[in-house]
Amino acid sequence: MNSLDTEVTPAMKAGAGMRFPVILFFSSAAFWLVFGSFLSCLAAWKLVVPSLLDGTGWLTYGRIQSAAENALVYGWASQAGIGLGLWLLARLGRTALGSEKLLITAGLFWNLGVLLGVCSIIAGAGRAIEGLEFSGAAAAILLIAYACIGIWSLILLRDRASDGLYVSQWYLLVAFLCFPWIYATANMLLIWRPVQGSAQGPIASWYSGSLFWLWLVPLTLAGVYYLVPHIARRPVRAYPSSALAFWCLTLLGGWIGTRQLIGGPVPAWMVSASVAASIIMLIPVTVICINTLGTFSGRAIPPVPEASFTVFALVCFAGVALQGAATPLLSAVTHFSDYSIAENVLAIFGFISMGLLGALHYVVPRLTGRAFPPRDATWHFWLSASGVATMFLALTFGGVIQGFALYDPGVEFMSSVTLAAPFRGIYALGTLVFLCSCLAFAAAFTRNLLGGQAPSKTPRVYPEPSEIVKA
Amino acid sequence: MSRLPPLLFGIFLVFTAAWFGVVGYSYLQLGRMEPVVDENTGDVNPPPLSGLATAGQRVYAANGCVSCHTQQVRSGAFSTDVEKKLGPRPTVARDYLRESPAFLGSLRIGPDLTNVGLRSSEVNWFHKHLYEPAATTPGSNMPSYRFLYEYRRIVGQPSAEAVVGLKGPHAPRPGYEVVPSEDARVLVAYLLSLKRDYSLPEAEPLQ
């Protein structure tokens, strides 16, 4: 074993101080993951069997589907990312975290906001703007809760005891700075004091693009850049190029969203700019894949769950970028078809969720001192990977076929429904498999928290990536 | 990139570019569009929404109709929306002036509704469709919106508003009737109002 692994560094103490807030964020994220996957599974089945649980307002497809998406984004992905981000900032900066109470209160408030938001959608008070369906009050609570988290993360960065800033810290800085800006702008202009309808389309699509590329992606990438050198036990490959990727991604992130309005009621330059940004985005994503996947090249990937999750997530990340760049080629057929849902599956489940789950598999044992049993972790990986793959492939194939039916002027609309139906059935099976994987994870996670698992054999102290980079 | 201030400044600069470009432009330009008066007819376009239709917008939003239905007729070389008779012309930003929120949508799990008011003006058909979609459109995977209707025993005279010609498993038994609630009535008023057949200077209907 590498001597660095057993050397006790001050970073360890920092991690210990972060325990309760991070565990709070992770456990509530796990709850919303199960909840959101359950609702998205229910919605998928309702599309296949429309009479399933119909006739009740709060169980109608439109509300369940929006509630599922929002629970997954704000309840699961954002909270797992926030927990991970705080842990990384303390670890990398070797700062002991003060004010635990502030973060715990903020975490509770954030959950209150998500709960209120989900209830508002189910009760029929949702706002019908993609990603912004929460009622105005719920959004305000989320922002207030976020203020504490965001300010604390900046304090953590400023008061760091280590020299320099590692790439994970850059990405966390982008995420923690951009989120309040994006979320407040969108809520101000679309929910609290809506602008005229003619301007809402581009603002809403800017929001959904920015939320992904400037909030969820940087949070996940921060985890990936931290995990990869730890798993591979070597420095990140071509580390200096990660700065290029970082600036490219941050610059382009805000421009990506409007491509979903291709052909729509917006000025043509907005769509062109967004398509151009999607194509240029291949550069940073390629560099990121070389930095991360390239680090593993030439040697076997270690048989730890976080490695499988991370590699799977990165392959999906490359897929997301390729799909984005292919928009001008495919959009005539794929726009508005189930293929668009497949794109979301690849982005939100394939990259963000799998990446964050990998990080959780790594961080949780180091917080509790107890390892996940390897067999549970393997099951969890294969169930979630096959769930994501099934959902993605079914919707991609079904979406292309449905897309041709939607495109061809000689084909009736109902044919597109009939043609897509079998693929939606397979998709619904995929959501069920993914739900099982979430339940398996939640069970293992709960047992780990309650102390039902064997103590971790690996030492809880690890060298930081900055040290590995220098090594 | 080992110091915080330059990093903060760089992120700020880069983020602001897109923020001004997309949000600022939309807010300042698209957000200040005004309706136009047709010189020949004196009509104001897009036409103002009735109070019922405005209330119907809220029911449309509350039930997530936008999850499955778009409201945009796309333009451009690669779109066949006009050929598919989704509308007499592509929609433009000004069409959404009075919508809040603008239900552009991103999926066509169900058909586009931009011009649904042009396709049918029969109120009873809309009620029948919302109450039991598969009965009016065989093979439809739209859920039933029965919860917007009152299923009740006929007392005295049948209601003049009762939905007629209902078929399917939830059709009223003899002596019962299905009456639209306030929400169902305003929702249908909103759907009937969806007509983009007027001309705008930037978008003339194709003949």
* DSSP code per residue over chain B: ---HHHHHHHHHHHHHHHIIIIIIHHHHTGGG---EE-TTT--EESPPPPHHHHHHHHHHHHTTGGGT-------STT--TTTTTS-SS---GGGGTT-SS----S--SS---TTHHHH---HHHHHHHHH-HHHHSTT--PPP-GGGEEEEE--SSPPTT---S--STTSPPTTEEEEE-HHHHHHHHHHHH----S-BTTBPPP-
Q: What is the pLDDT of residue A3?
A: 29
Q: What is the pLDDT of residue A301?
A: 86
Contact predicate B177/B60, CB 8 Å: no
Taking alpha carbons only, the member of B69, B66, B25, B79 closest to residue A328 is B79
Q: What is the pLDDT of residue A1?
A: 28
Mean pLDDT of all residues belonging to chain B = 93
The residue among B20 and A303 whose pLDDT is bigger is: B20
Which three-class secondary structure state does DSSP give residue A370?
Answer: strand
Q: What is the pLDDT of residue A300?
A: 85
Peptide bond into B46 cis (omega under 30): yes
Question: Which one-letter DSSP state was computed for residue A345?
Answer: I
A308 to chain B, closest Cα gap in Å: 30
3-state DSSP percent of chain A in helix, strand and coil, to 5: 80, 0, 20
Q: List, in sequence order, the alpha helices (H) in A338-373.
A: 338-344, 354-368
Nearest to B101 among A125, A127, A273 (CB): A127
Contact predicate A65/B64, CB 8 Å: yes
Give the CB-side neighbour count of residue B174, counting CA atoms within 13 A. Answer: 0
Contact B139 A417 (CB under 8 A): yes
List, for residues A215-267, the tens digit of each pLDDT value.
999 999 999 999 999 999 899 999 999 999 999 999 999 999 999 999 999 99
**pLDDT at B167 > cutoff 90:** no
Please report residues of B whose CB lies closer than 8 A to that of A174.
11
Q: List, in sequence order, the alpha helices (H) in A194-239.
A: 197-211, 217-232
B41 to chain A, closest Cα gap in Å: 24
Q: What is the pLDDT of residue A471?
A: 33
Please report residues of B whose CB lies closer than 8 A to that of A246.
1
Angle, CA of A120, A121 and A123, to the nearest 5°: 65
Best probe of the B interface among A183, A196, A212, by most B CBs < 10 A, is A196
Which three-class secondary structure state does DSSP give residue A175?
Answer: helix
Residues whose CB falls within 8 Å of the CB of residue A403, separated by 6 or more in sequence, listed in order:
A333, A334, A335, A336, A337, A339
Residues whose CB falls within 8 Å of the CB of residue B68, separated by 6 or more in sequence, listed in order:
A61, A62, B105, B107, B108, B109, B110, B142
Q: What is the pLDDT of residue B114?
A: 96
Residue of B nearest to A190 (CA): B101
Residues whose CB falls within 8 Å of the CB of residue B42, separated by 6 or more in sequence, listed in order:
none
Core vs surface per residue A362-400: b (16+ CB within 10 A) or e: bbbbbbbebbbeeebbebbbebbbebbbbbbbbbbbbbb
Please report residues of B whose CB lies closer than 8 A to that of A127.
61, 101
**pLDDT at A466 > cutoff 80:** no
Angle, CA of B96, B98 and B101, to the nearest 5°: 70
Residues whose CB falls within 8 Å of the CB of residue A16, separated by 6 or more in sequence, listed in order:
none
Please state, in angstroms and rounded to a whole number, the distance separating the CA atoms of residues A388 and B78: 31
Please state, in angstroms and rounded to a whole number, the distance separating the CA atoms of residues B60 and B72: 16
In the numeric block, the tokens 């421009």 are attached to A255
Q: What is the pLDDT of residue A303?
A: 86
Q: Give percent above pLDDT 70 in chain A.
A: 92
Residue A470: pLDDT band by 50, 70, 90 thresholds?
very low
**pLDDT at A18 > cutoff 70:** no
Which three-class secondary structure state does DSSP give residue A236?
Answer: coil
Mean of pLDDT values over A143-149: 96
Contact predicate A60/B64, CB 8 Å: yes
Q: A114 is written with which tokens?
A: 């998500």
Q: Phi first, then psi: what are they for A451, rounded to 5°?
A: 90, 20
**pLDDT at A10 > cutoff 90:** no
A165 to chain B, closest Cα gap in Å: 5
Please report residues of A whose CB lies closer than 8 A to that of B60.
128
Residues whose CB falls within 8 Å of the CB of residue A72, separated by 6 or more in sequence, listed in order:
A32, A33, A36, A37, A40, A348, A353
Q: What is the pLDDT of residue A17?
A: 57
Please report residues of B whose CB lies closer than 8 A to that of A157.
4
Give the CB-side neighbour count of residue A265, counting CA atoms within 13 A. Answer: 31
**pLDDT at A55 > cutoff 90:** no
Residue of B nearest to A171 (CA): B11
Sign of torsion over alpha carbons A238, A242, A243, A245: positive
Q: What is the pLDDT of residue B1?
A: 72
